[in-house]
Amino acid sequence: MSHAAPRPFSTVRAPALAGRVRVPGDKSISHRALMFGALATGTTRITGLLEGEDVVNTARAVTALGAPALKEGDTWIVKGRGVGGLTEPAGPIDFGNSGTGTRLMMGVIAGHPITTTMTGDASLSKRPMRRVIGPLKLMGLEIAEDRETLPLTLKGSDALIPIVYELPVPSAQVKSAILLAGLHAAGETTVIEKEATRDHTERMLRFFGADIRTELKDGKTHITVKGNAEMTGRDVTVPGDPSSAAFLVCAAILVPGSDVMVEGVLVNETRTGLYTTLQEMGADVTLTNLREEGGEPIADIRARHSALKGVTVPAERAPSMIDEYPVLAAVAAFASGDTVMHGLAELKVKESDRLAATAAGLEANGVKATIDGDTLIVHGTGGKVPGGGTVATHLDHRIAMAFLTMGLASEAPVTVDDTAMIATSFPEFIGLMQQLGAEYRT
């Protein structure tokens, strides 16, 4: 496969940023809205759906399973079939590069007496599915091949057995797959978590009318769903993605004179570690107009230019901000004192080794950074970041966006070696930044 030549791109130091903007919808909630709409009876209308490739593949998947998901104007309409009502697809279902779509859909398919082959691209076909397959097999799912990676042929059942399953490793995707299968089982299915993970599935199942309860016992969370569930089609507004909003908020904090409002952002506490950290650093970031939509907490986030001080970010905060460390590192470059970020092991196995790439990008622009095991220490400049360097992005969209944000306030322009991959997650990034007053040059 041939790739277009990389396109280097530079940020020019920005005047004050100002304005009100909305960011694209949250990916986790977009996937779930389509699937739960398919399992509900009646029609589900979704506004604000993230129309990235991963989510569009989920829309195609539910359509192939007999629950058409089609766009009409700005709204996606899903014609639900009810729990247990999906039908066998005409051919294999291609999930592209979406791990979330694949793992959750295994739970959906498990409760239907149909045979389905799931495929994906080269990258997805290398990713392990064992943690999902194990518990689903206990419930009655059959896998035609003795393997744990795509392509896989699944044979579901309308007589699934409810289970009580303690997650060996924290995973919202595995939890969600089991709960989705549990909707079709006779009796109650319980997932036990030692450490809390994102709870989007539980919130949205409740919103669609499933009988689900969460209890704390002996320091562990027990999530129980009642089988033979009946869910009803709903109107879902997908909130703005907090990981996308992060770049606009951080830009406003860094550029003198800025005042920016990002409207309608998801502020589920399992996703807001960055905003907590920014406030601890002295950033003027406020959550206003708090409300609930689709079972999730939403707010408008106002950010203004601020003087920052270095802080220590505890390891236990990492799960709620794992995607935001590169942009936090860019912000920390402007703080007075050191910012110490603990517990970043997972960053080494993201789209790139994000930990090494972040440190290298800082060093290239005159900011000292130290990696000590799973800890990143950014030695803040107290406000004057030299810039002038070129950052190797390693085809990682978050590295590219983090350093394009840093360059808005650095003394000399910051260049990233490529921006093509930003389109996979946040194609509106450059446009929204320009709308607020940022300038870029190729």
Q: Which helix (H) or strand (E) holds 430?
A: helix 429-436
Write down the residue that tokens 């499933």 correspond to: 210
> Cα separation of 7 and 418, whole Å?
5
Sheet strands side by side (includes 69-72): 69-72, 75-81, 41-47, 235-237
Question: Which DSSP category does 427 fall into?
Answer: T
Relative orientation angle of helices 397-406 and 242-254, to the nearest 10 degrees: 20
DSSP-based three-state secondary structure for 389 = coil
For helices 27-39 and 200-207, what crossing angle results, to 10°? Answer: 40
**Sign of the torsion angle spanned by Cα atoms 287, 199, 270, 360:** negative
Contacts of 380 (CB under 8 A, 6+ apart): 308, 310, 332, 333, 334, 335, 336, 337, 338, 339, 367
323 is catalytic: yes
Query: What is each CA distance from 197 to 87, 90, 154, 169, 380, in whole angstroms?
Result: 31, 35, 27, 10, 32
Burial of 25 (0-12, 13-18, 19+ CB in 10 A): buried
Strands 142-143 and 414-416: unpaired
Q: What are phi and psi of 253, to 5 degrees?
A: -65, -35
Please state, in angstroms and rounded to a whole number, the distance separating the CA atoms of residues 103 and 101: 6
* Rounded CA separation 308/411 (Å): 17
Round to whole Å and give the CA distance between 166 and 182: 14
- Cβ neighbour number for residue 388 with a 10 Å cutoff: 16
Burial class (CB in 10 A: 0-12, 13-18, 19+), 35: buried
**What residues have CB less than 8 Å from 249, skipping those under 6 apart?**
260, 262, 275, 278, 285, 301, 303
Q: Which of the residues 54, 323, 396, 418 is marked catalytic?
A: 323
The helix or strand, by DSSP H or E, that contains position 338, with its residue range, turns out to be strand 338-341
Residue 71 and residue 400: Cα distance in Å, rounded?
31
Q: Following DSSP, what letter does each residue of 15-56 receive, concatenated?
A: ---EEEEEPPBPHHHHHHHHHHHHHSEEEEEEES---SHHHH
Catalytic annotation, residues:
323
